[in-house]
Amino acid sequence: MDFSKYPLQKVLHILAAVIPGFVALWIHDVAAPGSFGWLWSSNLLGYRTKLSVALLAMLLVGTTINTLVNMVLGAVGGVLGGANGRHAAPDTAPWRDLTWRGALSKVLLDAAPANTAFWFARLAELKKEQVNLLTSEPQKTLALAKLESERLQNLREDMEWERWYRHYHFVLLNPSESDIVFYVQRGLQFNLETASLYALVSLLFVPGIRHWWLVAPATFWAFGLITYEIYGVHKALNMWSTLDRQITYLTERACGSSKTGADAQR
């Protein structure tokens, strides 16, 4: 495997899994003393081999713990996101902001959706009431069919704007891969948090680790994990949180594309 293809910050994120792995194996050793004595007392293995086996075990156990925590967090986030997505689009939505639509249109150019005003429920009702005033039944039927077609087309266009808005919403919520400091810091932080969460759960089953010097930092990091995830879910569900950033981001992209096109014509 060519590890040179993977960004350094992501490799460090994976290797940091030895932290929860070490904690899990240490707790197991406290619960069952001498569980790993065979490894250290073996005369068939050198100290480098023993150390390699121990590090590999920590990495595997830690990665498993991280995966389980990520699965639980992902399930919770999926439930909350699904519950939020079942609600009808509000009358006031950020993807109907004219400044944002203008900025996106400069990026998409001909691929941009039609910039039509959204038909609010009251407006659709007024249009329908106006059609119902027609006395000719055939004309009324045709007019209602045309009105429904226009309403569906308006809804499709609004949903297309919403799709682009959600796309850039999550683009801006996720940091750039070039942000090495963030990935390294977050990698270490997440592994400390999962290790602490594992330690707190183990307190219920392993009395030998019930010490203040373990409980205090474990509680701190576990609380940090919960707070960070709640804040992340809140930002993801709050569509308005990235409106200004999206306008700035799209404007910069449009200016960059225009400059590149102008340079190519020279």
**Does any domain span residue 129?**
no
pLDDT at position 16 over 50: yes
Predicted local confidence at residue 5, as pLDDT: 52
Residues in Cβ contact with 224 at an 8 Å cutoff, skipping those fewer than 6 apart: 189, 193
The per-residue pLDDT for range 20-40, each reduced to its tens digit, is: 999 999 999 898 887 777 776
CA distance 23 to 17: 10
**Does any domain span residue 232?**
yes
**Does any domain span residue 133?**
no
**Does any domain span residue 193?**
yes
How many folded domains does the chain comprise? 1
CA distance 190 to 228: 10
pLDDT at position 73 over 50: yes
Contact 11, 177 (CB under 8 A): no
CA 197 to the chain's CA centroid? 21
Tokens of 84: 């939020």
The radius of gyration computed from the CA coordinates of the chain, to the nearest angstrom, equals 28
The per-residue pLDDT for range 225-247, each reduced to its tens digit, is: 889 888 888 888 888 989 999 99
What predicted TM-score, i.e. pTM, was given to this entire model? 0.67
**Does any domain span residue 66?**
yes
**Does any domain span residue 12?**
yes
Least confident of 94-98, 110-114, 184-188, 262-266: 262-266
Q: Regarding predicted confidence, which is higher, 82 or 124?
A: 124
**Does any domain span residue 124?**
no
CA distance 21 to 19: 5
Q: Which amino acid is at 199?
A: A
Q: Name the residue range of residue 68's domain.
A: 1-87+178-239
pLDDT at position 180 over 80: no
Q: Which of 170, 158, 164 is nearest to 90 (CA)?
A: 158
Question: In this structure, what is the dihedral angle of CA atoms 18, 20, 24, 30, given to the nearest 10 degrees?
Answer: 90
Tokens of 135: 């006395």
**Does any domain span residue 25?**
yes
Predicted local confidence at residue 64, as pLDDT: 93
CA distance 223 to 213: 16
3-state secondary structure of 238: coil
For the chain, percent helix, then strand, then coil, each to nearest 5? Answer: 80, 0, 20
